[in-house]
């Protein structure tokens, strides 16, 4: 019976923490757009990089990177 005096306050603290985390997530728009990132990953936003004309340009580019 003594364990009840420990478990009930511990459970209440846990519920308060879970509710606080959920409210933080809602306020910071974590649930705003659930499908957008899934569709965005399938779209190719980047344009292909142009190929260097000769090996010297490639070596210069490698040194600068």
DSSP string covering 12-26:
HHHHHHHHHHHHHHH
Q: Three-state SS for 6? A: helix
With 0.85 as the threshold, say if the pTM is over it. no
How far, in Å, CA of 44 to CA of 27, rounded?
31
Q: Out of 6-10, 18-22, 57-61, pick the least confident.
A: 57-61
What would the pLDDT profile of 35-59 be if each residue is shown by its tens digit? 887 777 777 667 766 776 766 655 6
* CB burial string 33-46: b at 16+ within 10 A, e below: eeeeeeeeeeeeee
How far, in Å, CA of 65 to CA of 62, rounded?
5
């Amino acid at each position: 019976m003594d364990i009840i005096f420990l478990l009930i306050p511990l459970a209440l603290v846990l519920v308060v923490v879970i509710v606080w985390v959920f409210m933080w997530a809602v306020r910071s728009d974590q649930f705003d757009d659930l499908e957008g990132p899934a569709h965005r990953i399938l779209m190719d936003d980047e344009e292909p990089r142009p190929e260097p004309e000769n090996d010297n340009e490639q070596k210069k580019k490698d040194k600068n990177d």
